[in-house]
């Protein structure tokens, strides 16, 4: 059932165009982001019964800013591991036995910070970075009758930092990421093994330290053959120096905090879709479902939606609000109802993503069901707190070519594709409204 006409395409495309032209890239917590959110709020005032602006504070650089620490932790750990060469400086290596475990601990700390900040969405090291302010904009639409259900439709106004490796190498960037992680993890493990080897067998130089003497002999003999090709360099050192290149690439060039994508598709197209929903629902009220149209700030660091959930958690839980965040719907990749976001350790509600898939069937617009292969959405902050949520987004080769790259421009936004997402959202609200 088609609920909208072509005038919605113009409304939504004009929103994307105007925000791009007036504000350009919108770094989180920047004046451009804040003013774009305020303008979005003014637009929502035309359709919503009320619009609330919710300010919050956060440390936005804390989400990704620490990643550059990795190369320095790696280099320091490598130097601490290679105390075998301390005799060049007239130092007995045996007296430096504890340094290898210190290097292992440094890399372990780096991985711990990565897990807590990136995957667990904690704010463990945030105080190290500057505090800034941003806001969320919440438009509320009342139903015809008593509000017995609540649906939240969300999107984010900020634009993302450029993922330089993705821009240059596409899927090859994931190979570089894996190589960097493997290099760091192997150095951490071998540094720990070296420490154990020292405790069990005494100082093991120049052989590779493991707790098994026979294995040490085999590795040493193999290493001795290869040493001739590298002169004074041990093959282990050569491999870890190569590994350092991958760690450097990931740490310094995967996320370029000096360049921003324009964010036309990610995620002004998503915000445009929920503005279209606000217009339609203002004229065609659900019978018993209240709808909140939420424009989030700071999705790049996942702090805007996190603050929203913290502020409204009790109400959302008591009313069992259904949340759908809309992402990257302006391109030609297939629509997907997200089942999970592994990167953020979030599993979404089957009830919500199955309703989205059903809404697609009713609207005659295919909606696949599946987990996000990489990255995440604001819905993660809802699902991690046990609130029913999912995300409606497009996943495929075209999305990959636009995601956090210089190609995410107005020229690559298709208003017809945004309208397809809008139709699914409207049918989703209708299905929720009819639920017993």
Interval 28-51: pLDDT, tens: 999 999 999 999 999 999 999 999
Q: How confident is the model at residue 396 (pLDDT cuts 50, 70, 90)?
A: very high
309 CB burial (10 A radius; 0-12, 13-18, 19+): buried
Average pLDDT of the residues in 409-432 = 97
Contact indicator for 424, 335 with CB cutoff of 8 Å: yes
Flag whether 1 is in a domain. Answer: no
Tell me what pLDDT residue 226 has: 45
Q: Which residues pair with 136 in a beta bridge?
A: 54
Q: What is the CATH number of the domain that holds 149?
A: 3.40.630.10
| Same domain flag for 332 and 271 | yes
Give the domain extent around 150. Answer: 6-59+132-163+258-434
Which has more confidence, 213 or 22?
22
| Same domain flag for 52 and 29 | yes
Interval 243-252: pLDDT, tens: 888 888 888 7
Flag whether 36 is in a domain. Answer: yes
Flag whether 316 is in a domain. Answer: yes
Tell me what pLDDT residue 3 has: 87
Tell me what pLDDT residue 225 has: 53
Q: How confident is the model at residue 230 (pLDDT cuts 50, 70, 90)?
A: very low
Average pLDDT over the chain, rounded to whole? 88
Tell me what pLDDT residue 238 has: 72
| Same domain flag for 35 and 100 | no
The C-alpha atoms of residue 345 and residue 348 are separated, in whole angstroms, by 10
Tell me what pLDDT residue 227 has: 47
Flag whether 177 is in a domain. Answer: yes
Average pLDDT of the residues in 398-410 = 91
Domain termination residue (choose one: 231, 254, 277) = 254
Tell me what pLDDT residue 175 has: 86
Check pLDDT > 50 for residue 103.
yes
Tell me what pLDDT residue 198 has: 64
| Same domain flag for 194 and 219 | yes
C-alpha 261 chain-centroid distance: 15
Tell me what pLDDT residue 197 has: 66
Domain termination residue (choose one: 254, 277, 299) = 254
Interval 87-101: pLDDT, tens: 555 566 666 767 888
Interval 49-85: pLDDT, tens: 999 999 999 999 888 888 888 899 999 998 888 776 6
Tell me what pLDDT residue 231 has: 46
- Lowest mean pLDDT: which of 155-159, 203-207, 214-218? 203-207
Flag whether 240 is in a domain. Answer: yes
| Same domain flag for 290 and 360 | yes
Which has more confidence, 188 or 150?
150
| Same domain flag for 46 and 86 | no
CB atoms within 10 A of CB 431: 16
| Same domain flag for 23 and 114 | no
Helix (H) or strand (E) holding 394: strand 389-394
Interval 340-358: pLDDT, tens: 999 999 999 999 999 999 9
Q: pLDDT over 90 for what percent of the chain?
A: 64
- Lowest mean pLDDT: which of 1-5, 285-289, 415-419? 1-5
Contact indicator for 99, 191 with CB cutoff of 8 Å: no
Average pLDDT of the residues in 261-266 = 95
Phi, psi of 338, rounded to the nearest 5 degrees: -75, 130
- Lowest mean pLDDT: which of 103-117, 264-278, 283-297? 103-117
Contact indicator for 273, 16 with CB cutoff of 8 Å: no
Flag whether 332 is in a domain. Answer: yes
Domain termination residue (choose one: 254, 280, 311) = 254
Tell me what pLDDT residue 289 has: 97
Phi, psi of 162, rounded to the nearest 5 degrees: -70, 135
Interval 108-144: pLDDT, tens: 999 999 999 989 999 999 999 999 999 999 999 999 9
- Lowest mean pLDDT: which of 89-98, 199-208, 392-401? 199-208
Tell me what pLDDT residue 293 has: 98
| Same domain flag for 385 and 398 | yes
| Same domain flag for 330 and 380 | yes
Q: How confident is the model at residue 207 (pLDDT cuts 50, 70, 90)?
A: very low
CB atoms within 10 A of CB 302: 24
Total number of residues shown for the chain: 436
Flag whether 306 is in a domain. Answer: yes
| Same domain flag for 309 and 385 | yes
322-327 β-sheet, strand order: 50-58, 132-141, 289-296, 149-156, 322-327, 389-394, 335-338, 367-370
First-to-last alpha carbon distance for the chain, in angstroms, is: 21
The C-alpha atoms of residue 433 and residue 306 are separated, in whole angstroms, by 27
| Same domain flag for 398 and 288 | yes
Specify the residue for token string 């450029």.
162
Q: Are strands 50-58 and 256-260 parallel, antiparallel or unpaired?
A: unpaired
274 CB burial (10 A radius; 0-12, 13-18, 19+): buried
Helix (H) or strand (E) holding 199: helix 172-201
Q: How confident is the model at residue 232 (pLDDT cuts 50, 70, 90)?
A: very low
Q: How confident is the model at residue 209 (pLDDT cuts 50, 70, 90)?
A: very low
Domain count of the fold of the chain: 2
Check pLDDT > 70 for residue 23.
yes
Structure tokens at 283: 């004229």
| Same domain flag for 267 and 333 | yes
């Amino acid at each position: 059932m088609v609920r909208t006409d072509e005038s919605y395409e113009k409304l939504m495309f004009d929103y994307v165009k105007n925000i791009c032209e007036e504000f350009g890239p919108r770094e989180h917590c920047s004046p451009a982001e804040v003013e774009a959110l305020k303008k979005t709020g003014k637009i929502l005032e035309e359709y919503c019964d009320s619009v609330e602006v919710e300010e919050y504070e956060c440390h936005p650089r804390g989400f990704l800013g620490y990643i550059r620490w990795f190369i320095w932790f790696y280099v320091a750990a490598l130097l601490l591991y290679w105390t075998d060469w301390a005799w060049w400086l007239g130092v007995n290596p045996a007296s430096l036995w504890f340094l290898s475990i210190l290097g292992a601990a440094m890399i372990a700390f780096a991985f711990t910070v990565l897990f807590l900040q990136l995957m667990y969405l904690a704010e463990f090291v945030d105080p190290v970075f500057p505090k800034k302010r941003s806001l969320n904009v919440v438009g509320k639409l009342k139903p015809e009758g008593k509000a017995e259900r609540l649906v939240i439709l969300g999107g984010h106004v900020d634009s993302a930092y450029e993922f330089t490796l993705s821009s240059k190498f596409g899927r090859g960037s994931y190979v570089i990421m894996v190589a960097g992680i493997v290099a760091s993890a192997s150095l951490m493990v071998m540094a720990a093994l070296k420490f154990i080897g020292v405790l069990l067998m005494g100082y093991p130089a120049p052989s590779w330290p493991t707790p098994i003497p026979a294995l040490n002999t085999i590795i040493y003999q193999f290493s001795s053959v290869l040493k001739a090709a590298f002169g004074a360099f041990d093959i282990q050192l050569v491999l870890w120096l190569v590994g350092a290149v991958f760690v450097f690439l990931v740490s310094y060039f995967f996320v370029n905090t000096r360049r921003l994508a324009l964010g036309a598709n990610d995620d002004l197209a998503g915000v445009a879709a929920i503005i279209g929903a606000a217009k339609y629902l203002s004229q065609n009220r659900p019978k018993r479902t209240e709808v909140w149209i939420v424009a989030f700030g700071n999705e790049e660091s996942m702090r805007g939606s996190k603050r929203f959930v913290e502020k409204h958690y009790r109400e959302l839980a008591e009313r069992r609000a259904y949340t759908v965040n809309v992402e990257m719907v302006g391109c030609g990749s297939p629509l997907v109802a997200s089942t999970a976001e592994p990167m953020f350790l979030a599993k979404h509600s089957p009830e919500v993503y199955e309703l989205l898939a059903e809404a697609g069937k009713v609207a005659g617009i295919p909606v696949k069901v599946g987990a996000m292969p990489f990255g995440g959405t604001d819905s993660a902050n809802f699902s991690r707190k046990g609130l029913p949520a999912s995300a409606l987004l497009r996943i495929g080769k075209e999305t990959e070519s636009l995601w956090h790259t210089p190609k995410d421009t107005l020229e690559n936004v298709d208003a017809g594709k945004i309208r397809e997402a809008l139709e699914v959202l409207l049918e989703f609200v209708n299905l929720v409204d009819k639920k017993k």
